[in-house]
């Protein structure tokens, strides 16, 4: 029997949101709106009602499942997820299908549960639920057609692969009797590396970074808001919780930061630009986890929070454009600022926050990561992070708002552009407001970070440094603008291996083998049937040997047999 406090702990904010998602599958009208708008608030209140070290576990299948293990980092990640869910849900009410809303809530609830659980087995259960629900978010964009279905399938394949590797690692650890509870995994065992690989797949680490830019833009305008907020950031959280200080992550994160920046420069699909920007910024967080000092881990946590907020605003903006204009290619957009003033203003705030302009969120969070690299005298990491910090101008910072709202009008479709409905405008404004609030009152965010520290981002030198990085980069952006075509194009990535050679091997070899096997089987079956018919014809009830023969014939045959015997005997 579950007593009341147990029920209180059992119904964690994540589980509540998942239950809301289940109800949303059949809710509509006011009930649906009430759930979408109220449930994130209920979950947020519940999250902050827990004690700072609240824990609750239950035994199942021989495992001690810690459904609740509140940590400072986990609580901040969960808070960001709930806010993103609330803003995304508000926006999604305008256009999303019931299936998408329900999937998004289950997806968000799983992500929240990952940040609040206290052991690897519970984490795995919610991890896989997250993979399935996020795939449903992609597939629920029915208007995307075959392209969306295929992108969702590739996304699912990558995440199932990551899940299998993660499960193998967890099983390995369990078999060796290692502790599966929340905490840094030490040692150099194969199981540890498998778990790390499983986590990195979800972070968009190389060589599987492609899935972010492949799957996210294939989802609906509101679906991408949810997708960009949860999967990669839960990966950052689990890396931070289980692999802080693993120096390999510095190289992985630097690659991601450069990869995202380089690919975004040539990208012409505005939602794909934002997807590459996600990889770029998650790279910063992965580097910070690899550095592993208190400042770095604080930086990773704070920047994850800031990133979720400003990316939500930017994607809400991109979603509003896609909903009203029906286009997401730069060659079809431009000059929307006059037609969509509210969206443009909010997107510009989000873009400033993404670049880390003073008085916005990223200015007070990303600097912690770069400061940590500087404190550890990691020269190349510091240089690459600083350059990638300036390079945000070339993706989410200036390029995205320029191509979407400010460049000259590229097509007649733009004439249909208009700001979204009231709830969506509130979502946009709310997200932009959080970006500014975090930037203006950074100490309130710093107080919630996992490690105590004294940070003062608003020094004259830091403000000047940041502007010295951003302004020349913006100058170069405008100077080199004519070098880059806005015509739609596809950039090859490692998914090319999956989609061309492996696909050909699959089509021309594996499927042919299957077909050959099927043909062989049908031949064997038909031969068996033919043989059976022959046997039946001779030995069946009407067969030659079971017929009634006349006595004379039998006597004749017996005489022939006896004569043959006599002849053979005398030879």
Partner 1 sequence: MKKSSEHCSLRRRLMAVLAVITLCLAGLDLVVHHHSVECILPDFARYVVLSLLGSLALIGLALVLGAVLSRKEDYYDK
Which positions touch partner 1 (CB under 8 A)? 147, 261-263, 265-266, 335, 373-374, 377-379, 382-383, 386-388, 390-391, 393-394, 407-409, 460-461, 464-465, 467-481, 483, 488-493, 499-500
For residue 505, the tally of other CB atoms under 10 A from its CB is 11
Contact 447, 434 (CB under 8 A): no
Q: How far is the CB of 429 from partner 1 (least distance, A)?
A: 27
Q: Give phi and psi for 329, each to the nearest 5.
A: -95, 140
The CB-of-203 to partner 1 minimum distance in angstroms stands at 22
Rounded least distance, CB 305 to partner 1, Å: 25
Q: Which is nearer to partner 1, 234 or 268 (CB)?
A: 268
Q: Which residues is 66 bridged to in the sheet?
A: 57
Nearer to partner 1 by C-beta: 207 or 531? 207
* Closer by beta carbon to partner 1, 251 or else 335: 335
- Rounded-to-integer distance, Cα 555 and Cα 562, Å: 10
Closest to 278 in 3D by CA, of 333, 214, 327, 330: 214
CB of 442 to partner 1, least distance (A): 19
Torsion from C-alpha of 235, 212, 98, 111, nearest 10 degrees? 0
Q: Do residues 89 and 36 lie in contact, with contact meaning Cβ atoms separated by under 8 Å?
A: yes
Report the residue number, 233 or 272, with the smaller CB distance to partner 1.
272
**What DSSP string describes 83-96?**
HHHHHHHHHHTTT-
State the burial class of residue 403 (Cβ atoms within 10 Å of its Cβ: 0-12, 13-18, 19+): buried
For partner 1, give the closer residue by CB, 265 or 440: 265
Q: Which is nearer to partner 1, 26 or 471 (CB)?
A: 471
How many whole angstroms separate alpha carbon 308 and alpha carbon 479? 31
Question: Taking the complex as a whole, how short is the minimal distance between the CB of residue 471 and partner 1, in angstroms?
Answer: 5
Contact 29, 37 (CB under 8 A): no
CB of 479 to partner 1, least distance (A): 6
Residue 58 phi/psi, 5° resolution? -145, 155
Give the Cα separation of 230 and 67 in Å (integer): 19
Query: Which CB, 54 or 474, lies closer to partner 1?
Result: 474
Nearer to partner 1, 8 or 465 (CB): 465
Query: How far is it, in rounded angstroms, from Cα 515 to Cα 376?
Result: 59
- CA quadruple 115, 116, 119, 125: dihedral sign: negative
Determine the Cα–Cα distance for residues 5 and 416; give it in Å rounded to an integer. Answer: 54
Three-state SS at 21? helix
Min dist CB 379 to partner 1, Å, is 5
Shortest distance (Å) from residue 66 CB to partner 1: 41
Of 351, 281, 283, residue with least CA distance to 316: 351
Question: Phi and psi (nearest 5°) for 398?
Answer: -115, -40
Q: Check whether the bond before 523 is cis (ω within 30° of 0).
A: no
**Least distance CB 131 / partner 1 (angstroms):** 23
CA 54 to chain centre: 28
The residue (of 266 and 418) whose beta carbon lies closer to partner 1 is 266
- Report, in Å, the least distance between residue 408 CB and partner 1: 4
What is the rounded CA–CA span in Å between residue 465 and residue 521?
72
Q: Which is nearer to partner 1, 262 or 448 (CB)?
A: 262
Q: In 10 A of CB 432, how many CB atoms?
A: 27
CB of 465 to partner 1, least distance (A): 5
In whole angstroms, the minimum distance from the beta carbon of 346 to partner 1 comes to 21
In angstroms, the CA 274 to CA 382 distance is 24
User: How far is C-alpha 40 from the chain's CA centre?
Assistant: 20
Nearer to partner 1, 108 or 158 (CB): 158
Cβ nearer to partner 1, comparing 475 with 555: 475
**Which of 492, 518 has the CB closer to partner 1?**
492
| Host H or E run for residue 190 | helix 190-203
d(Cα 169, Cα 191) in Å, to the nearest integer? 4
Supply the minimum distance, in Å, between the C-beta of residue 171 and partner 1.
36
């Amino acid at each position: 029997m579950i007593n009341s406090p147990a029920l209180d702990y059992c119904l964690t904010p994540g589980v509540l949101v998942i239950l809301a998602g289940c109800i949303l599958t059949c809710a509509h009208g006011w009930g649906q709106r009430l759930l979408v708008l109220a449930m994130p608030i209920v979950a947020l209140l519940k999250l902050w009602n827990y004690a700072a070290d609240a824990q609750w576990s239950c035994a199942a299948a021989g495992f001690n499942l810690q459904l609740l293990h509140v940590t400072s980092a986990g609580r901040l990640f969960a808070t960001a997820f709930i806010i993103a869910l609330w803003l995304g849900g508000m926006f999604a009410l305008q256009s999303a299908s019931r299936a998408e809303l329900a999937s998004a809530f289950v997806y968000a609830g799983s992500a929240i549960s990952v940040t609040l659980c206290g052991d690897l087995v519970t984490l795995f259960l919610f991890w896989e639920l997250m993979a399935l629900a996020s795939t449903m978010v992609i597939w629920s964009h029915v208007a995307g057609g075959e392209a969306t279905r295929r992108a969702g399938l590739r996304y699912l394949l990558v995440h199932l692969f990551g899940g299998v590797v993660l499960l193998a690692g967890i099983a390995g650890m369990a078999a060796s009797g290692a502790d599966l509870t929340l905490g840094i995994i030490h040692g150099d065992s194969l199981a540890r590396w498998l778990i790390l690989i499983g986590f990195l797949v979800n972070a968009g680490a190389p060589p599987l970074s492609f899935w972010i830019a492949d799957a996210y833009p294939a989802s609906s305008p509101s679906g991408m808001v949810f997708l960009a907020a949860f999967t990669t950031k839960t990966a950052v959280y689990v890396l931070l919780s289980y692999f802080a200080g693993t120096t390999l992550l510095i190289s992985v994160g630097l690659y991601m930061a450069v990869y995202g920046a380089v690919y975004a420069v040539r990208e012409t699909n505005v939602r794909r630009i934002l997807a590459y920007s996600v990889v770029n910024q998650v790279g910063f967080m992965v580097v910070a986890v690899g550095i592993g000092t208190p400042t770095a881990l604080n930086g990773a946590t704070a920047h994850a929070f800031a990133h979720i907020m400003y990316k939500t605003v930017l994607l809400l903006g991109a979603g509003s454009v896609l909903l009203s204009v029906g286009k997401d290619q730069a060659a079809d957009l431009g000059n929307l600022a006059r037609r969509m003033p509210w969206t443009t203003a909010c997107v510009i705030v989000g873009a400033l926050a993404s670049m880390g302009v003073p008085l916005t969120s990223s200015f007070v969070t990303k600097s912690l990561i770069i400061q940590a690299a500087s404190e550890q005298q990691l020269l190349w990491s510091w240089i690459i992070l600083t350059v990638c910090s300036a390079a945000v101008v070339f993706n989410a910072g200036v390029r995205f708002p320029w191509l979407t709202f400010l460049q000259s009008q590229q097509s007649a479709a733009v004439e249909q552009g208009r700001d979204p409905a009231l709830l969506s405008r509130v979502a946009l404004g709310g997200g932009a407001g959080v970006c500014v609030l975090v930037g203006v009152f950074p100490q309130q965010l710093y107080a919630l970070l996992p490690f105590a520290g004294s940070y003062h981002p608003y020094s004259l030198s830091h403000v000047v440094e940041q502007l010295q990085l951003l302004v020349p980069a913006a100058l170069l952006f405008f100077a080199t603008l004519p070098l880059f075509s806005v015509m739609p194009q596809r950039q090859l990535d490692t998914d090319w291996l999956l989609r061309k050679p492996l696909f050909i091997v699959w089509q021309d070899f594996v499927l042919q083998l299957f077909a050959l096997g099927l043909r062989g089987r049908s031949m064997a079956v038909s031969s068996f049937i033919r043989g059976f018919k022959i046997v039946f014809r001779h030995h069946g009830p009407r067969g030659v040997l079971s017929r009634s023969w006349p006595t004379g014939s039998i006597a004749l045959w017996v005489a022939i047999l006896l004569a043959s015997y006599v002849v053979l005997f005398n030879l």
